[in-house]
């Protein structure tokens, strides 16, 4: 498959008063054309930092890139100047954010916000821009688009605002859409609508999606491939079926186990992963999941596991998958 | 909208009436009267003066008479200046104070928010420190010190600026600047903090993700949202500047309205106290109204009139 985005060995850190926080530690993954890749993990695992690195929207300083390349359509984005990045943002790569209530400018008409990027990138006239805004709102199923473009964000509901955000991100027909938890702030019924809309538009416009989420239900529904992140690293990645049916990493297993099920008994308690992720000021030498893992072994504490490939597409970073650990149950802590 | 305007007008009239009544009561509760202090006045003359100005009547009757005159636009005769009425004084002093105030306001509005924005954009860097030093000086140095310093070090050394007085436009430069510094500093500090808050908002990130220029992100998205708190202090600031500053006018020898505020009270010049107070109240009410309307235009979420939706 043709690759549209390749992240190679990316490491991002933040300089703070107390020292350096290694938010993303040497991750590599790619996104194919028309593919949806989900990046999953709990809060603080580096998934949003990864997304913002692609767009280069991180505040620099304190953030800085330590190593790595972000190759988009054959060119390294990290080598581009701010001016060159402006031509890519909103034009070739669009982005949707988590909270539609705060991600639109309250003092600007919705229509102008949608077309602002288009006007800059494609130098269209006002008339055309207005027509395009109406067309986009129609595309994302906002009723009465002619009237709605002259309204302000506070006149829209949360779901409608997220539709506006999608219209805004997609107006220049980007090759890649980065959706940073697009449904987290919405209620469940609206979530499904927004996801369906994204899928529908992906088919229509032939674009790739990076979906950042911590909701595994969303992952199963949307993505072709999954990247599981923990403490700034990728711990497992593979096709969605492989991740769900052939789970390898203990962290992914626990994540899956903690999804509430409809057939749960009433008095059954929800499963949670005990403990907290390690402090990224001093990232652990060994496996980052060591402290919380049920299967941790002596080797895990001080030795960083490398990726073991289970198939061409499926790999996980765990000593248990290592050929020499065959038959070992783990848990010698 | 017209219904709102009417409601606002009625409320304004009530406010002015309350100001009049309270000032009137307070004024008459201060011991002494306009003519007590003048020495060696024969009792008969004193009595004549009192009855001349109607001060021998009961206070309530004086109040009614004053309100009656006021309704006809007559602020009365000054009790100290025997040639001018209060109306004359306001008409003569206000244009001078208003010009001075308007110039000061212009300086403050242009440089205050700009300085604040600059400070926020370069937070904890040199421009930030410089702006905030200027702001701290502006807030902490009283205008009488600033005025004196300007005369001593600028006017005396640069022949271009007159030491004092009023007439040509050069006369107005130094006092405008001295008067502007305080509101400028306040606005800069307000703008800095609200700009910092706005720059951290999600919609700024959205704007950046569209690939528009940094200047467009700041001007179109950040400043317009950050300016709201500055607008809200404008009402009081403008009225304070327009009706004149006692200190600045005194130092630079400017024949404005400001000095009447202070002089009228120490002189117990009853009609002048009432006149200046009412005038200030009216200006303030008008400015606050204008600010409310401006608010509505800048932030569409604010509605002055409830729409039936």
pLDDT tens-digit readout, B13-71: 999 999 999 999 998 888 777 777 666 778 888 888 888 888 888 888 889 988 998 88
Contacts of B221 in chain A (CB under 8 A): 105, 108
Residue A38, H or E segment: strand A36-40
Return residues 44-83 of A near B (CB < 8 Å).
55, 57, 82
Residue B192 pLDDT greater than 90, yes or no:
yes
**Among A43, A39, A44, A46, residue whose Cα is nearest residue A5:** A39
As a whole number, mean pLDDT of residues A83-91 equals 86
Residue B108 has a pLDDT of 92
pLDDT tens-digit readout, A18-69: 888 888 888 888 888 889 999 988 888 888 888 888 888 888 778 888 888 8
Cα–Cα distance, A121 to B69 (Å, whole number): 67
Inspect the interface and report whether the beta carbons of B300 and A154 lie closer than 8 Å. yes
Architecture of the CATH domain B95-257: Orthogonal Bundle (1.10)
Q: A262-298 as b/e, with b when 16 or more CB fall inside 10 Å?
A: eeeeeeeeeeebeeebbebeebbebbbbbbbbebbbe
pLDDT tens-digit readout, A156-173: 888 888 888 888 888 888
Whether the CB-CB separation of B194 and B229 falls below 8 Å is answered with yes
Return residues 100-129 of A near B (CB < 8 Å).
102-108, 113, 116-117, 120-121
Contacts of B220 in chain A (CB under 8 A): 108, 116
Question: 10 Å Cβ neighbour count for B123?
Answer: 12
Residue B139 pLDDT greater than 60, yes or no:
yes
Report the residue of chain A nearest B216, measured CA to CA: A116
Contacts of A105 in chain B (CB under 8 A): 203, 206-207, 221, 225
pLDDT tens-digit readout, B207-262: 888 888 888 888 888 998 898 889 888 888 888 888 778 788 888 888 888 888 88
Counting Cα atoms < 13 Å in the Cβ hemisphere of B308 gives 1
Pick B262 or B135 by higher pLDDT. B135
As a whole number, mean pLDDT of residues B297-304 equals 79
Among left, alpha and beta (phi > 0; psi -120 to 50; other), residue B41 is beta
How big is the CA angle at A16 (ends A13 and A17), to the nearest 5 degrees?
155
Candidate from B208, B211, B225 with C-beta closest to A106:
B225
Inspect the interface and report whether the beta carbons of A104 and B299 lie closer than 8 Å. no
Percent of chain A exceeding pLDDT 90 equals 2
Inspect the interface and report whether the beta carbons of B211 and A104 lie closer than 8 Å. no
**Among A56, A78, A62, A59, residue whose Cα is nearest residue A9:** A78
Residue B189, H or E segment: helix B169-199
Is B18 buried (19+), middle (13-18) or exposed (0-12) by CB count in 10 A? exposed
What is the pLDDT of chain A when averaged over all its residues?
A: 84
Report the residue of chain A nearest B221, measured CA to CA: A105
pTM for the whole thing?
0.79
Is A116 buried (19+), middle (13-18) or exposed (0-12) by CB count in 10 A? buried
Return residues 149-178 of A near B (CB < 8 Å).
152, 154, 165, 168-169
Cα–Cα distance, B269 to B23 (Å, whole number): 13
pLDDT tens-digit readout, B107-127: 999 999 999 999 998 988 899
All structural domains of chain A, each given as residue ranges with its CATH number in brackets, are: 3-92+172-325 (3.40.50.300), 105-171 (no CATH)
Inspect the interface and report whether the beta carbons of A90 and B300 lie closer than 8 Å. no
Candidate from B208, B212, B221 with C-beta closest to A120:
B212
Inspect the interface and report whether the beta carbons of A107 and B213 lie closer than 8 Å. no
Domain segments of chain B: what residues? 95-257
Whether the CB-CB separation of B283 and B239 falls below 8 Å is answered with yes
As a whole number, mean pLDDT of residues A251-277 equals 81
Q: Give the pLDDT band of residue B308 (cuts 50, 70, 90).
A: very low
Return the residue in A100, A105, A168 with the most chain B beta carbons within 10 A, the one to mutate for interface testing. A105
Inspect the interface and report whether the beta carbons of A97 and B224 lie closer than 8 Å. no
For residue A309, list its beta bridge partners. A315
């Amino acid at each position: 498959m043709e690759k549209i985005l390749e992240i190679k060995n990316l490491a991002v850190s933040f300089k703070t008063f107390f020292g350096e926080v290694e938010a993303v530690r040497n991750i590599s993954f790619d996104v194919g054309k028309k593919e949806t890749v989900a990046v999953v993990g709990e809060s603080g695992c580096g998934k949003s930092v990864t997304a913002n690195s692609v767009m280069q929207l991180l505040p620099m300083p304190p953030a800085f890139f330590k190593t790595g390349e972000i190759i988009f359509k054959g060119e390294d984005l990290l080598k581009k100047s701010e001016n060159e990045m402006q031509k890519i943002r909103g034009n070739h790569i669009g982005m949707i954010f988590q909270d539609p209530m705060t991600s639109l400018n309250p003092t600007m008409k919705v229509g102008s916000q949608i077309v602002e990027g288009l006007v800059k990138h494609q130098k269209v006239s006002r008339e055309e821009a207005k027509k395009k805004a109406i067309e986009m709102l129609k595309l994302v199923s906002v009723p009465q688009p002619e009237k709605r473009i002259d309204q302000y964000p506070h006149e829209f509901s949360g779901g409608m605002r997220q539709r506006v955000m999608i219209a805004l991100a997609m107006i220049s027909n980007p090759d890649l859409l980065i959706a940073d938890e697009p449904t987290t702030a919405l209620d469940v019924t609206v979530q499904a609508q927004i996801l369906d809309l994204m899928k529908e538009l992906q088919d229509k416009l032939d674009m790739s999606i990076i979906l950042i989420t911590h909701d595994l239900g969303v992952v199963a529904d949307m993505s072709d491939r999954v990247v599981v992140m923990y403490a700034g690293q990728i711990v497992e990645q593979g096709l969605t079926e492989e991740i769900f049916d052939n789970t390898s990493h203990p962290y992914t297993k626990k994540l899956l186990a903690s999804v509430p099920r409809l057939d749960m008994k009433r008095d059954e308690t929800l499963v949670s992963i005990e403990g907290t992720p390690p402090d990224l000021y001093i990232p652990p030498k060994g496996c980052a999941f060591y402290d919380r893992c049920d299967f941790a072994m002596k080797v895990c504490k001080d030795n960083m596991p490398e990726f073991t490939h289970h198939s061409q597409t499926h790999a996980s970073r765990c000593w248990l998958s290592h050929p020499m650990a065959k038959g070992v149950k783990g848990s010698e802590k | 909208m017209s219904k709102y305007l009417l409601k606002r007008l009625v409320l304004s009239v009530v406010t002015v009436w309350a100001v009049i009544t309270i000032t009137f009561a307070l004024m008459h509760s201060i011991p002494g009267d306009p003519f007590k202090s003048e020495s060696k006045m024969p009792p008969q003359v004193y009595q004549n003066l009192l009855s001349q100005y109607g001060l021998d009547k009961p206070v309530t009757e004086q109040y009614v008479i004053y309100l009656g005159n006021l309704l006809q636009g007559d602020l009365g005769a000054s009790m100290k200046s025997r040639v001018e009425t209060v109306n004359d004084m306001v008409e003569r002093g206000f244009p001078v104070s208003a010009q001075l105030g308007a110039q000061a306001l212009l300086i403050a509005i242009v440089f205050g928010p700009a300085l604040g924005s600059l400070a926020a954009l370069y937070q904890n860097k040199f421009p930030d420190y410089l702006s905030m030093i200027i702001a701290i000086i502006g807030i902490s140095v009283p205008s009488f010190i600033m005025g004196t310093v300007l005369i001593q070090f600028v006017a005396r050394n640069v022949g271009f600026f007159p030491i004092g007085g009023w007439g040509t436009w050069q006369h107005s430069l130094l006092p405008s600047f001295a008067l502007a510094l305080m509101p400028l500093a306040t606005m800069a500090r307000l703008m800095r903090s609200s700009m910092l808050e706005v720059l951290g908002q999600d919609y700024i990130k959205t704007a950046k993700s569209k690939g528009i220029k940094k200047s467009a992100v700041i001007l179109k998205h950040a400043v317009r949202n950050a300016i709201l708190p500055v607008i809200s202090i404008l009402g009081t600031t403008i009225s304070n500047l327009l009706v004149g500053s006692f200190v600045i006018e005194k130092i630079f020898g400017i024949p404005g309205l400001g000095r009447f505020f202070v002089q009228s009270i120490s002189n117990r010049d009853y009609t002048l106290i009432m006149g200046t107070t009412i005038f200030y109240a009216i200006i303030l009410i008008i400015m606050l109204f204008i600010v409310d309307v401006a608010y509505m235009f800048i932030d569409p979420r604010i509605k002055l009139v409830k729409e039936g939706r």
